[in-house]
């Protein structure tokens, strides 16, 4: 990551970040249906994020920040400008970053064109690059709007537009100064997996998981939450009736990891890790490796199911692994 450091301002100027949240593609879109958002999950996630950001004592009215028309709805948006003007502040600890995957957005376009493999001299790849970006930025726009409707001051930041690029799929340039400035100003940056330029391949797909790891390394949040469509990491595909949820995984300095809870016979070695079935950028192995890389920084990683009491607790950072009533996987440093 040498190449990255010099291209961004010193992390010393960063405010302490509370949480980076990954909205997994499988959690917020309907699998198998092209470009279809799971509106219930998305709405619930935004409401939970608002709760996690709120002072528990505060019971203010939600003041929506999406003042645009809804497609197909002829009514003009209602804006309570006077209500906003009377508020002393938005009353949220909005020190969060949201990163989302693509799910049923982008995947179709990327796989039809092979944009992840690069080669912009190919007309098909060039067209696929354009088509993939249109699809993933459409999803980004909808997520920014859903957050804004919950009164969360969200700002979309497509990595391609931010000038982020890769070198053989590893981040090569990723200036985070605009993200940091947005956090300072009280906004919640919303990034996503995107088609980007690659120094060797011409172009590729930068996944949301790689973005999260980079931001975690740069900003050292208190915790990172991965929301997905199953309860966490299992020892085998979660559709298998014998699948066991791995509740706690420890990562050592060398990148090795072991399952602390539950006690397994074959302690972490050779278990077939599985998070979710719908993953388009590297699969489970990548996901667990990215999470382990974050945990090695001393940042707790919570992987849990979207739209549950468990996701709310994770977003609040209120996970107690000593009790059994939280369903999910904690990945943390062994230190």
Q: Which residues in this chain contact a copy of itself in the complex, by CB under 8 A?
A: 34-35, 63, 65-69, 71-72, 76, 79, 81, 84-85, 87-90, 108-109, 112-113, 120, 122-124, 126-131, 133-135, 137-138, 141, 144-145, 148, 153-158, 160-163, 175, 177-178, 181, 185-187, 197, 202-203
Cβ distance to a copy of itself smaller for residue 215 or 251:
215
Smallest distance from a copy of itself to CB 155, Å: 6
Smallest distance from a copy of itself to CB 81, Å: 5
Cβ distance to a copy of itself smaller for residue 90 or 284:
90
Q: Say if residue 103 carries a ligand binding annotation.
A: yes
Residues 263, 265, 267: CA angle, nearest 5 degrees = 70
Cβ distance to a copy of itself smaller for residue 99 or 331:
99
Q: How far apart are CA 28 and CA 190, in angstroms?
A: 14
Q: How far apart are CA 65 and CA 61, in angstroms?
A: 13
* Nearest CA among 286, 283, 318, 298 for reference residue 220: 298
Cβ distance to a copy of itself smaller for residue 160 or 326:
160
Q: How far apart are CA 70 and CA 77, in angstroms?
A: 8
Cβ distance to a copy of itself smaller for residue 196 or 288:
196
Cβ distance to a copy of itself smaller for residue 130 or 318:
130
Burial (CB < 10 A; 0-12, 13-18, 19+), residue 211, is buried
Q: How many CA atoms lie within 13 A of 292 on its CB side?
A: 19
User: Sign of the C-alpha dihedral, residues 55, 56, 61, 62?
Assistant: positive
Smallest distance from a copy of itself to CB 79, Å: 6
Q: Say if residue 208 carries a ligand binding annotation.
A: yes
Smallest distance from a copy of itself to CB 6, Å: 14
User: 305 pairs with which residues across the strands?
Assistant: 228
Smallest distance from a copy of itself to CB 49, Å: 15
How many residues in the chain?
A: 335
Q: How far apart are CA 293 and CA 220, in angstroms?
A: 12
Q: Say if residue 242 carries a ligand binding annotation.
A: no
Q: Say if residue 229 carries a ligand binding annotation.
A: yes
Smallest distance from a copy of itself to CB 180, Å: 11
Smallest distance from a copy of itself to CB 108, Å: 7
**Are the beta carbons of 165 and 199 closer than 8 angstroms?**
yes
Cβ distance to a copy of itself smaller for residue 157 or 306:
157
Q: Say if residue 287 carries a ligand binding annotation.
A: yes
Q: How far apart are CA 155 and CA 228, in angstroms?
A: 22
Q: How far apart are CA 193 and CA 213, in angstroms?
A: 13
Backbone conformation region of residue 230, classed left if phi is above 0, alpha if psi is from -120 to 50, else beta: beta
Smallest distance from a copy of itself to CB 2, Å: 19
Cβ distance to a copy of itself smaller for residue 65 or 251:
65
C-alpha distances (whole Å) from 38 to each of 43, 222, 233, 310, 318 are 9, 28, 22, 19, 26
Q: Are strands 248-251 and 257-261 parallel, antiparallel or unpaired?
A: antiparallel
- For the annotated binding site for substrate, the residues are 102, 107, 208
- For the annotated binding site, the residues are 102-103, 107, 208, 229, 283, 287
């Amino acid at each position: 990551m040498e190449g990255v450091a010099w291209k961004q301002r010193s992390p010393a100027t960063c405010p302490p970040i509370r949480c980076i949240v990954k909205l997994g593609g499988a959690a917020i879109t309907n699998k198998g249906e092209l470009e279809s958002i799971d509106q219930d999950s998305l709405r619930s996630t935004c409401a939970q994020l608002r709760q996690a950001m709120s002072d528990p004592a505060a019971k203010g009215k939600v003041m929506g920040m999406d003042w645009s028309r809804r497609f197909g709805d002829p009514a003009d948006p209602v804006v309570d400008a006077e209500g906003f003007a009377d508020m002393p502040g938005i009353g949220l600890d909005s020190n969060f970053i949201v990163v989302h995957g693509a799910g049923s957005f982008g995947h179709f376009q990327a796989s039809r064109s092979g944009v992840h493999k690069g080669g912009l001299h190919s007309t098909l790849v060039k067209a696929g690059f354009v088509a993939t970006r249109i699809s993933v930025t459409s999803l980004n726009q909808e997520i920014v709007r859903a957050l804004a409707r919950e009164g969360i001051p969200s700002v979309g930041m497509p990595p391609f537009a931010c000038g982020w690029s890769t070198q053989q799929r590893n981040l090569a340039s990723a200036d985070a100064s605009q993200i940091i400035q947005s956090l300072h100003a009280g906004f919640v940056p919303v990034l996503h997996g995107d088609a980007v330029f690659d120094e060797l391949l011409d172009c590729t797909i930068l996944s949301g998981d790689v973005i999260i790891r980079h931001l975690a390394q740069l900003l050292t949040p208190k915790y990172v939450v991965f929301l997905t469509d199953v309860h966490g990491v299992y020892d085998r595909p979660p559709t298998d009736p014998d699948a066991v949820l791995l509740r706690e995984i420890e990562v050592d300095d060398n990148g090795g990891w072991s399952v602390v809870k539950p006690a397994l016979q074959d302690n972490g070695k050779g278990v077939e890790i599985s998070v979710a079935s719908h993953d388009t950028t590297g699969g489970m192995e990548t996901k667990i490796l990215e999470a382990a890389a974050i945990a090695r920084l001393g940042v707790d990683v919570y992987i849990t199911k979207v739209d549950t009491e468990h996701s709310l607790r994770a977003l609040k950072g209120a996970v107690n692994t000593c009790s059994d009533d939280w369903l999910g996987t904690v990945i943390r440093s062994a230190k």
